[in-house]
Amino acid sequence: MTQPITVIAQSLVRERTRAGLSLAEVARRAGIAKSTLSQLEAGNGNPSLETLWALCVALDIPFARLMEPQANQTQVIRRGEGPKVVAELANYQAILLATCPPGARRDIYLLLTQPEGERLSQPHPAGSVEHIIVTQGRALVGLAEAPEELHAGDYICYPADRAHVFRALEPDTQAILVAEQN
């Protein structure tokens, strides 16, 4: 399996080139150092979820596009092996399980979370929707102003173009996140 940082590096170069932007311009838009972006494009470093998200906003691409494997390949992700990103401000990991092909707008993640801190997400592009199924534990999930407590087996759907939150209420809480954009 290709290392996640290698896929991220290739995707950053591909998307920056596709957008016709310089290294300096993408770094400026993302609010990161040019040297940091250069290192990431070289396949070095361990970027946080927040850094990757800022780069996606700067490149105007969905988050999952940074982790897209080569097209037309069979992909098996064994437990613990998927491309993983970690939040800086909460004990929250997202493992990308599937991306959408061009023209489709759905990504699937496995979330591995702990009760320390919460993952507050800023609004995604207009029309974005998130679906979450808690598979283990309990979590507070949904719109930032009115999250719902979910237990294993519970499902929630909410507009992700508004601020939203995920906070584990028990150790080792897990969930499946399906993110849609139109």
Strands across the sheet containing 164-168: 119-121, 164-168, 138-143, 148-151
Query: Which whole number is the average pLDDT over 26-51?
Result: 92
Comparing 11-15, 100-104, 132-136, the range with the smallest average pLDDT is 100-104
- Domain that residue 130 falls in: 87-180
CA distances from 168 to 40, 79, 83, 117 (A): 30, 20, 21, 8
Looking at the chain, the whole-number percentage of residues with pLDDT higher than 90 is: 43
> 3 or 156, which is more confident?
156
Structure confidence at residue 27 as a pLDDT band (50, 70, 90): very high
Q: Could you tell me if 97 and 174 lie in one domain?
A: yes
Report pLDDT for 76.
Answer: 58
Q: Which CATH number belongs to the domain containing residue 56 in this structure?
A: 1.10.260.40
| Closest by CA position to 128, among listed 162, 102, 168 | 162
Q: Is residue 76 part of a domain?
A: no
pLDDT at 176 over 90: yes
Q: Could you tell me if 94 and 152 lie in one domain?
A: yes
Q: Is residue 82 part of a domain?
A: no
Q: Is residue 49 part of a domain?
A: yes
Contact 10, 69 (CB under 8 A): no
Q: Is residue 74 part of a domain?
A: no
- Structural domain total, the chain: 2
Report pLDDT for 77.
Answer: 64
Q: How high does pLDDT run on average in the chain?
A: 85
Structure confidence at residue 37 as a pLDDT band (50, 70, 90): very high
This prediction has a pTM of 0.55
Q: Could you tell me if 48 and 98 lie in one domain?
A: no
Report pLDDT for 72.
Answer: 42
Q: Could you tell me if 124 and 152 lie in one domain?
A: yes
22: enclosing H helix or E strand: none
CA distances from 48 to 7, 8, 52, 89 (A): 15, 12, 6, 10
129: enclosing H helix or E strand: strand 129-136
pLDDT at 89 over 90: no
Q: Could you tell me if 54 and 107 lie in one domain?
A: no
